[in-house]
Structure 1
């Protein structure tokens, strides 16, 4: 049935900021209404066009692809005009792709983040295949009319009609906005005068009328307003919902032609050919060779090179060559049969270019490591025959689909390879790929709460109750089921109910646009032949497709994965340091042995801080239990240590240690499962069992594995019959065959890709080898990659100290931007690890130091850097350098340097001015500088360390516990290190988790503190550090309520608690029963503050110093100790009688004239 009205425009959720219409519900609504066509016009993008196109066809509805364009207003750049266009055919689709691409890449002229189409681009062929309509209230015609410029409005209509000959309509809208009716009358009159058609559209922003407020909330989220803000723009009406055809026909009953033309436009729009099979760029081969011949040539030559490296002994090489050649020929035959030589050649070219141009590439990732052709072409670096890896897991001849190599590149150099690809195939043919972020449950609660003006703490309390289990997206509805407290809070609070009223319709809506982590498109020609491009900030390197990874493949583009892996950067940096310290070694990672005892011992000891994929506490514990003695064990542990297969770890450990026998349902399974002690750890093992027992080909076995992994019931039933029949031919009973099939089905669900596990475990082994043999170089390289992560740097530094590696503090004359290794037992802290200090400034400083020698003092530093760059060093940078101690080797008095900053900066400015004047008058000699240092009170050790922590993130040159260590050790002798070393393991056979009378008492500085909400209510997680180690302890609700104010970051506390041994994890956990601050401890212990004074102490200054510490809830007596000229004695002060026993009072007293010392004495 022919429709009487067609909706030609709506803003879907892909308009990002002002639309909340979800595609599938809207399309289904059209089907229910019996409307045969539907038009989508998102604002300046086609983000959702492919899925809209596919979904419409799926429901039997004709998709009309369109877009709302911004047209640059040359007279008023801040207010562009709106113009709506529709694709009539594939030419129109291409024209729209070009217009959008040019807008985002060439014309973000007034506002970054808003692309605009220049009017001149609409001339000639610019609108080929496009229908244009005038754009509603924000279009040029209505804007001019609204300003009273009737003649100019009519002229604009003529101009636009010229751009779209016989394809231009005047847009009539009645959406309940002021001025709509006047505009309709004017447009109808203009249409009659200029003989132009009119068309009725409705500016749909949300699907149902009741969604209006939710839509307003969405707009506020995007624009940063609150809903109640009287200043927020109110551009939309509650009438902008998806009206039924009957409502629209009634709305425009007085202008029937406007309704009829909606159907006319729908008839004129017939876009075909958008969806396509994959199309690769042309790969040029030498001397006119075919792709098949060229891949044969490269693969055979490459294999011979690999064999020479793997088997230096010629006799052994000749022995194994037939096996490798047989596998190579098999893979090549499949690749050529499936017509994929071009894909392999493209990938090998940019990988080999990278390897020869200083861009480290990973040994493999994903199933591609199972291909011998890939190994021969140097795409991967793992011998698949040695590790028994399967080609069919990567490329299945029984399931035609594009191969997909995931390639890891050095994080710092990945862009070089992408630029090479652009140079080779053309910049217009290469782009990265869009990703879309959705409003998740927690995010939408926080966003809506902010827009509603609710207090942050209240919103945060609700959001934190939403569970976040690993690997699972929890919806708001599911959260109510999973967390009763979440539902209870909502049910009992009207504000929360209002929040949920708007959060639920917005949940899952597209929230933002990003760039895919590694996806790169390489097209056979300009990408605009396939899709439009987008750029958020105008930077060429940030150009992306407007389609995501699924949609680009659907339109025929091929995605290549250029992934950045930080570990490769670390390895590269470490090798650089090794070769710098040991130039004669010519160290190469590819030559390290894979059975090195020191490396394997490092794994066996769980000493894997900074070791790729093996550094988590749980994995380290597993390593100690498993005692891996070969790289294959590491591969298995890497595959097992993840949700699902973890349940098999106890069996694996028991069988590996010989405590449990290895058994098989059929002995032939032993050839497949022996390396993992009878357990199916890998997906490839499922395939091989299917082959050995069920008679499957490996291609067929891969289809079986996929069906099992996805739990496709009908496919499973079909495959079970095939498997049992095949097993019967191999002499296996039906009962045993079904048992094996069930076992395979269980493991296929969470079995890991062995090729990937091998490749990544080898990378892990490389990092461990470097840590075992070149620890300083390795740890320095690691810290280069985490300059801004002070917590992780501190962890790595602690690990270094355990290995006897010295950490030298940052030094203005010795440090580089990065951490460095001056020798094999030392690491120099990098200036890049200081907060607030930019790389450009430090590189300039390093260049000045190299050219003109070390800096002599603070004045010299300021003057030379001012001379080098007129801006000089900012006060903020200089403060950071001083607080971090970078000038300590010049002058260790940081307070003096800090207090003379103004002097130094003024002297530098004066010197620069003199240099300019001297140059002007022909005398460039520098005058003698007279430096008058201002006297400054030195910082106490405590103050110095706190300021150091402020810019470094932790105390590098000392410890906040240090000043009070001896005082506290008299009462609490056990250090945190001793507590941790004791293990707190319960006595053998003990029934209770807590050891009898296992109360522990320890002290430390609060270095981390957070409150969490658990089943027992609010509780605190407190980390204490005493310089020997750190303990993270739980303070449960009762104790937390009582002592929470005691725990203050950077302050010393004394706690009493309990330790609990976790038999399963073989670790000790700690809980806190009571706590007291150091002043509280001193008060309870009746400490007195003894002040040793000279014969003429400044008593007034002493009184003034201690005055702020009177009248505290804590207190200790003040005692003057006199020992001079034969006089010896103690005098208890009467006023003040008691002072707060803070460490700060001592620090300040030591600066008072006549005070020799001050310390606490316990009775």
Structure 2
């Protein structure tokens, strides 16, 4: 007799379930279990994975060894799902927080109930129920109720669940009549498909209720079924699961009162093990097979379906698509004619028409006209709404139809971009057009799509985040009460390979130090062994930042829904799974650079009467722009801003658009690591010969000096030399990328034979195949590279030709991020552009160019000014003209919208300096001024109760207080920083500029640039000069204090760690006590020369020029672990000695002592640490 698990939690019961689905199905097959259910808490995240894993058990005849049963353990609200007034209890139960039974009879989030889908109708109903739990009933947990269960019970099997189920809970509370009523309710809802679930994981409460369950089952004729509430795969995993619970509840193993499972029996038991639990009741086990037999084997995947696009009368979908494509194509040709006249285009008009006819034919045959019309429509609407749209991204830029319909904006003919890289006629799959919108307008486009197709048909997509290597090591170390230094030093020994996450197993293979430590230290071995078993498990969920689903019908017919913390609705399938479920996925990306360009154009229009027409620069031949690129002067230039890219730019000296396309493709870890960047530069400058294996390859490879850089080149070579169609060549490229050895052996034979048949030397053809196979691993999508090179060129053009307007637009775009603003303000000053603080009469919302070399702060950059206050002030200024003084501004503005705090911020920011430079006096007189202005406007700030003469009298009653001492420089700068986030009229470090230049490695920006470009490396010693801006005191697990210092200079900020001890993981000796020795410097405003160990980390971060929704890209984070802190004032006037000064810890040269006068900063936070420079 066998058995099937019907109550089972996987890793998708987040940080509560440990089982990975592929391992689960393997065990079921090995144990002879013919079916398995997955019933995660409140969600269906794992359904597609379960289906896929079970499908792999099919034999040659199509029989499945393990049938998937798609289910969920739902939460049923005590009353209705709309009742959200219960107070959450934090009691500790046998099985954990969410499973505890509240003795009062009510439940925190709801009672448990297991639901299993019998057929497609049941699966659709389960999806609707689970979705409603999130979208309607969410209260601590996703909850449904019995009313909605009655509506959507068809096709579902229900089990009464664990002790958290309502029947069992009532029995435990000795409310047997209520237990009977509840059981009757469920029997009425589900009929013969309701079962009483009986469990015995080895603790008393389960055993207590079994007789009552048996009695109730007999009385009501409800069958009993045995389950095991499995949360981990094997018995040996119990302790590992306990560690996972500690991670989820942020506690430690040693803590007595915490969530824990009271026995070690919550695992996926074999049929034999289940028989030993219920030896006297084999019928309970057999019933699991009866239930499994009720469940049909049905698919949950389908081909993607495009939403129905409405077409005008007289057209069908195909004819309207062709009509729009041809109409917009003629508009494109009209724009191209001036370029043809200039001789700037490679191909004649006829070639464009031939390409259009070919693509239209292919798209019609593939059945994608509706898709193109849908995308064309919302991009057209975006432009109508004034939302800037990017020129394209990804392979779609290779389509002339997409270009004609203005879905993309880069000419695919001019740059040899291939349609087959986008849509392969020989491997038909759904198009994938990703679109960049201005960050500020992206949501408006999504709102349009939602309104057009229906709120029930449009949603976001879930992302399931994992326990990643370094994070899980830190988590496990914390669970076992290891201190920060222990965990941090372990993670530092995990090697970093850009573009490839490193597992613990791989790290042990590649890091000699980590392996040595692992083999010599049992504690380290234990932490890493446990971490290795947990890494990759699901941790939490989020919203895919770009993906938007547009369904042809109600979403729940395709997939269950969830919500995030901001109530955004999302399908519970990941991006790839959603497409497999038949849903159309679009990427609506918010590209900050488009916002930056738009804001720059606004500044240009204000200064010059109209914005720059960017279509006039499409020849891409502006000399000043390429000079800017060649100089590496690319701060603020899209994708060309990093230190490493600047270095490559200076080496290459690009002077044509093809170089920019190539640089976008080259500046990636793979090509750089393979030396392709160096080869490209050397050949570009004639220092290395450009050779071609066959002369026929020159037209394909000459733009990249013989380097195979693009995927499109691989396809073109296969087509030219071996006679592949471009569709076949695309499949070859894909196969090369996947490194399928068996497939590649067949392809190589085909390539050689066909090449030889075309009269090419057979040995050379074989050599060429090996060459393109090697480069295919590094090849980049040229369509994407070309489109993004266009964005880069536009930003560089604006910077080169409208430098002040460009910097104003850039600062406006970054105004919410003070670190970036500080960086670009300094960049302006280095370029001779003066950045002025905000002014009550000159500033607008954004930064503005007020002269050829002058930028004025915008009000939006001032902290404490909300949208309503800003609008009120700007409206008052528009109505009144220039304000004469503070009182005039107050009496003219609605003070209910712009309260006293707003005016305080403006005064501190220096916004009234042009009217009254004494900020101290204005601030002291502000309360009286507000009071007088409020009297004059009847406290409304809208309509004055007095005529002009009376107002003049009131104005005379208020004067700027006299004899008020102006703020000193330090106070003035501190006030600016408080409300602007940075110093504007000066910087406290300016007096130490010479000392920093001579006695440090340079500015913080320079150190970061050197670290990202590789000139400085991880663990190099570095010396910097900076001011401490904030201090966060910490305590490690041993109770030792340490601190994180946020330091800054005029170019940026950096984190400096002052550790309790500097720990050597090999000797395990604390050779230095940085915090103990230098804690008296850990105070805000201390001006320090800091020496320490540079730490350069690569983290996953959303990036790509501020692209919302871009795939996570790697970002370099630079920190310093301090070993020596010294006051900067001791280095003033000390000349250059030919090397950086090296001081023994805690000591200073005697000749520096006299200028160091003791200066007390006072006790910090009452810790009793006197702070002096001495």
Q: Which TM-score bucket, shorter chain as reference?
A: 0.7 to 0.9
Distance in 1 (CA, whole Å) between partners of 2:436 and 2:1050 is 39
Contact map agreement 2:395 2:422 (CA 8 A) in 1: yes
Q: How does 1:1064-1103 map to 2 (within 5 A)?
A: 1077-1080=1127-1130
Residue 88 of structure 1 pairs with residue 121 of structure 2: no
Tell me: CA distance 1:566–1:719, structure 2 relative to 1, closer, same or farther (3 Å): same
Shift of 1:460: 2.9
Shift of 1:62: 0.4
Contact map agreement 1:975 1:1026 (CA 8 A) in 2: no
Q: 1:739 aligns with which of 737, 753, 767?
A: 767
Shift of 1:763: 0.7
Structure number with larger C-alpha Rg: 1
Q: 1:477 aligns with which of 502, 505, 513?
A: 505
CA RMSD of aligned residues (A): 4.5
Deviations 1:193-235 (A, max 9, x none): 1111111111111122332333233233333444444443445
Shift of 1:36: 0.5
37-46 vs 616-625, which deviates more? 616-625
1:64 corresponding residue in structure 2:
69
Residue 155 of structure 1 pairs with residue 181 of structure 2: yes
Shift of 1:693: 1.6
Tell me: CA distance 1:934–1:277, structure 2 relative to 1, closer, same or farther (3 Å): same
Distance in 2 (CA, whole Å) between partners of 1:275 and 1:1025 is 54
Contact map agreement 1:976 1:1031 (CA 8 A) in 2: no
418-427 vs 887-896, which deviates more? 887-896
Q: How does 1:530-569 map to 2 (within 5 A)?
A: 530-537=558-565, 539=567, 542-569=568-595
Aligned partner of residue 381 in structure 1, secondary structure: coil
Distance in 2 (CA, whole Å) between partners of 1:783 and 1:980 is 20
2:630 corresponding residue in structure 1:
604
Q: 1:411 aligns with which of 399, 423, 439?
A: 439
Distance in 2 (CA, whole Å) between partners of 1:97 and 1:1003 is 59
Residue 180 of structure 1 pairs with residue 197 of structure 2: no
Tell me: CA distance 1:889–1:49, structure 2 relative to 1, closer, same or farther (3 Å): same
Q: How does 1:796-875 map to 2 (within 5 A)?
A: 796-835=824-863, 838-839=866-867, 841-847=869-875, 849-850=877-878, 867-869=895-897, 873=899
Contact map agreement 1:71 1:119 (CA 8 A) in 2: yes
1:120 corresponding residue in structure 2:
147
2:639 corresponding residue in structure 1:
613
Tell me: CA distance 1:453–1:495, structure 2 relative to 1, closer, same or farther (3 Å): same
Tell me: CA distance 1:236–1:502, structure 2 relative to 1, closer, same or farther (3 Å): farther
1:700 corresponding residue in structure 2:
728
Aligned partner of residue 286 in structure 1, secondary structure: coil
2:676 corresponding residue in structure 1:
648
1:14 corresponding residue in structure 2:
12
Structure 1: gaps spanning 5 or more residues: 985-992, 995-999, 1012-1019, 1058-1069, 1086-1111, 1119-1136, 1146-1159
2:804 corresponding residue in structure 1:
776
Distance in 1 (CA, whole Å) between partners of 2:636 and 2:347 is 40
Shift of 1:489: 4.7
1:51 corresponding residue in structure 2:
49
Tell me: CA distance 1:505–1:655, structure 2 relative to 1, closer, same or farther (3 Å): closer
Contact map agreement 2:245 2:259 (CA 8 A) in 1: no
Shift of 1:624: 2.1
Shift of 1:1001: 12
Q: How does 1:777-792 map to 2 (within 5 A)?
A: 777-792=805-820
1:276 corresponding residue in structure 2:
302
Residue 528 of structure 1 pairs with residue 528 of structure 2: no
Aligned partner of residue 469 in structure 1, secondary structure: coil
Aligned partner of residue 181 in structure 1, secondary structure: helix
Tell me: CA distance 1:32–1:880, structure 2 relative to 1, closer, same or farther (3 Å): farther
Contact map agreement 2:936 2:944 (CA 8 A) in 1: no
Contact map agreement 1:1083 1:1141 (CA 8 A) in 2: no
Aligned partner of residue 192 in structure 2, secondary structure: coil
Q: 1:750 aligns with which of 766, 775, 778?
A: 778
- Which has the bigger relative contact order, CA under 8 A and spacing at least 6? 2
Aligned partner of residue 400 in structure 1, secondary structure: coil
Distance in 2 (CA, whole Å) between partners of 1:281 and 1:789 is 39
Q: 2:539 aligns with which of 506, 511, 519?
A: 511
678-687 vs 318-327, which deviates more? 318-327
Tell me: CA distance 1:165–1:890, structure 2 relative to 1, closer, same or farther (3 Å): farther
Distance in 2 (CA, whole Å) between partners of 1:259 and 1:919 is 84
Residue 39 of structure 1 pairs with residue 3 of structure 2: no
Distance in 1 (CA, whole Å) between partners of 2:1133 and 2:476 is 49
Contact map agreement 1:279 1:523 (CA 8 A) in 2: yes
Distance in 1 (CA, whole Å) between partners of 2:820 and 2:519 is 42
Contact map agreement 1:1115 1:1138 (CA 8 A) in 2: no
Contact map agreement 2:114 2:160 (CA 8 A) in 1: yes
Q: 1:885 aligns with which of 895, 910, 921?
A: 910
Distance in 2 (CA, whole Å) between partners of 1:340 and 1:1138 is 78
Contact map agreement 1:174 1:251 (CA 8 A) in 2: yes
Shift of 1:368: 0.9
Distance in 2 (CA, whole Å) between partners of 1:396 and 1:627 is 36
Shift of 1:955: 2.3
Tell me: CA distance 1:1025–1:227, structure 2 relative to 1, closer, same or farther (3 Å): closer
Distance in 2 (CA, whole Å) between partners of 1:100 and 1:1056 is 56
Shift of 1:338: 1.8
Deviations 1:986-1037 (A, max 9, x none): xxxxxxx99xxxxx999776789999xxxxxxxx999999879999999999
Shift of 1:359: 1.8
Aligned partner of residue 811 in structure 1, secondary structure: coil
Contact map agreement 2:938 2:944 (CA 8 A) in 1: no
Contact map agreement 2:819 2:1052 (CA 8 A) in 1: no
Contact map agreement 1:441 1:475 (CA 8 A) in 2: yes
Tell me: CA distance 1:159–1:761, structure 2 relative to 1, closer, same or farther (3 Å): same
Aligned partner of residue 257 in structure 1, secondary structure: helix
Tell me: CA distance 1:620–1:611, structure 2 relative to 1, closer, same or farther (3 Å): same
Deviations 1:926-973 (A, max 9, x none): 99566795976654323433443354443221122345679x79x979
Contact map agreement 2:836 2:984 (CA 8 A) in 1: no
Deviations 1:646-691 (A, max 9, x none): 2122222222222333221111111211212222121111111112
1:1140 corresponding residue in structure 2:
1157
Q: How does 1:925-1074 map to 2 (within 5 A)?
A: 938-963=966-991, 1050-1052=1085-1087
Contact map agreement 2:499 2:669 (CA 8 A) in 1: no
Distance in 2 (CA, whole Å) between partners of 1:311 and 1:743 is 40
Aligned partner of residue 67 in structure 1, secondary structure: strand
2:1142 corresponding residue in structure 1:
none
Contact map agreement 1:866 1:909 (CA 8 A) in 2: no
Aligned partner of residue 148 in structure 2, secondary structure: helix
How many residues are treated as equivalent by the alignment? 1056
Shift of 1:266: 0.7
412-421 vs 1024-1033, which deviates more? 1024-1033
Distance in 2 (CA, whole Å) between partners of 1:355 and 1:670 is 40
Aligned partner of residue 348 in structure 2, secondary structure: helix
853-862 vs 245-254, which deviates more? 853-862
Aligned partner of residue 14 in structure 1, secondary structure: coil
Deviations 1:494-530 (A, max 9, x none): 6545544543332111001111122111111011111
Distance in 2 (CA, whole Å) between partners of 1:554 and 1:980 is 47
Residue 259 of structure 1 pairs with residue 285 of structure 2: yes
Contact map agreement 1:1116 1:1141 (CA 8 A) in 2: no
Deviations 1:322-345 (A, max 9, x none): 211111111112112222222222
Tell me: CA distance 1:933–1:447, structure 2 relative to 1, closer, same or farther (3 Å): farther
Distance in 2 (CA, whole Å) between partners of 1:296 and 1:885 is 60
Shift of 1:602: 1.3
Structure 2: gaps spanning 5 or more residues: 58-64, 88-106, 1017-1021, 1034-1042, 1065-1070, 1093-1119, 1136-1146, 1163-1172
Residue 628 of structure 1 pairs with residue 657 of structure 2: no
Contact map agreement 2:937 2:945 (CA 8 A) in 1: no
Tell me: CA distance 1:274–1:638, structure 2 relative to 1, closer, same or farther (3 Å): same
Contact map agreement 1:88 1:130 (CA 8 A) in 2: yes
